[in-house]
Copies of this chain bind each other. A is one copy, B any other.
Amino acid sequence: MGNEEWVPLVHRVPDLGALELLLAVARLGSLSGAAKHMGITQPAASSRIRAMEARLGVALVDRSPRGSTLTAEGALVTDWARRVVEAAEAFDAGAQALRGRRDSRLRVAASMTIAEYLLPGWLIALRGQRPGTAVSLQAGNSALVARRVLAHDADLGFVEGLTVPDGLDSAVIAQDRLVVAVAPEHPWARRTKGVEAAELASTPLILRERGSGTRQVLDAALAGCGGLAAPLLELASTTAVKAAAVSGAGPCVLSELALGDELAARRLVQVPVTGAALGRALRAVWPAGSRPAGPARDLLSLTRVRS
């Protein structure tokens, strides 16, 4: 992250409106159609696409008197643009949930990992099938989630701990797994067989602070190996942990959900672990006895793992 000569991204990447416009052009097959879809005029769309092509230095669309189609490069750029726009949609879904504080119809409480990585996608899906639903979101640790749900301050909760808090019914919605990851230069990156649980337990690691769900699972999994060594670093956020590991400080342990991007980009390399169960269930929870109904049931059915 810490580059010397940093030119802000904004000057090199078209803005979200332009990317969205490009997607519309790809889908509708014409600039004027895309313009209408976006609520702007045709010359505006033409100018924006042209500006984008100039900035990227590549022709994106083939214009013809009966429509516009993507060039080969345009198709590739559009695919990358789609990922940006989808991330923006997830941002929007989360932000909308965060905004609707008291008065909304479905109130959700979720642990950090779930709120960060899974909920935005679910909310997009929920909006797709029940467009009217207003959702509010409260994020915090498992104890907070349990308290909210029990007090009926939330209609549905999502937790990632090992145990279900008392007074709540639950359903497993996904399996998460803790993953050990190191920078590509780290000796562990070249290990064929990964590491034994005992070696992992005796190695100083980069971890989330004590009390986080992640830390709790790791403690429990390595209890049989003499417990965890003193941490190398203890950081407050997932991102800080990743950044430290990427910079080569040492091995880190995080949810595979949180490590997806880093592993795909090879900024970090996964190290297999033998002899310890690092899996954990992600659960939806609700007050014992009362089965979720209405919007809560809709969301639950979107997330529930079938088995």
Using a CB–CB distance below 8 Å, which chain A residues touch chain B?
A: 1, 3, 6, 8-10, 12-13, 15-17, 19-20, 27, 37-39, 56-58, 72-73, 75-77, 79-92, 94-96, 98-99, 112, 115-118, 120-122, 124-125, 128, 131, 139-140, 184, 189-192, 237-239, 260-261, 264-267, 269, 301-303, 306-307
**Are A88 and B9 in touch, CB under 8 angstroms?**
yes
Quick one: copies of this chain in the complex? Answer: 2
**Are B20 and A10 in touch, CB under 8 angstroms?**
yes
**Are B12 and A17 in touch, CB under 8 angstroms?**
no
Which residues of B have CB within 8 Å of A120?
80
Which residues of B have CB within 8 Å of A307?
192
Known: A8-B17, A8-B38. A73 touches B98 (CB 8 A): yes
**Are A92 and B3 in touch, CB under 8 angstroms?**
no
Alpha-carbon distance between A20 and B1 when the two chains are bound, in angstroms: 12
Given contacts A12-B96, A72-B140, A73-B98, 20 further A-B pairs with CB under 8 A are A9-B17, A9-B85, A9-B88, A10-B15, A12-B95, A19-B91, A72-B139, A76-B98, A76-B116, A80-B95, A80-B120, A82-B239, A83-B261, A84-B84, A84-B88, A86-B261, A118-B264, A125-B266, A189-B306, A266-B302
**Are A20 and B15 in touch, CB under 8 angstroms?**
no
**Are A58 and B13 in touch, CB under 8 angstroms?**
no
Which residues of B have CB within 8 Å of A17?
8-10
Which residues of B have CB within 8 Å of A82?
239
Q: At the interface, is chain A mostly helix, strand, loop or mixed?
A: helix
Choose from B81, B89, B121, B140 the contact partner of A264 (Cβ within 8 Å): B121
CB A208 to nearest CB in B, in angstroms, measures 13
CB A111 to nearest CB in B, in angstroms, measures 11
Which residues of B have CB within 8 Å of A73?
98, 139
CB A26 to nearest CB in B, in angstroms, measures 8
Q: Would you mind naming 9 contact pairs between A and B with Cβ atoms under 8 Å apart? A: A9-B89, A13-B88, A13-B95, A77-B94, A77-B98, A80-B120, A125-B266, A192-B307, A269-B306
Choose from B58, B84, B118 the contact partner of A87 (Cβ within 8 Å): B84
Choose from B115, B238, B266 the contact partner of A303 (Cβ within 8 Å): B266
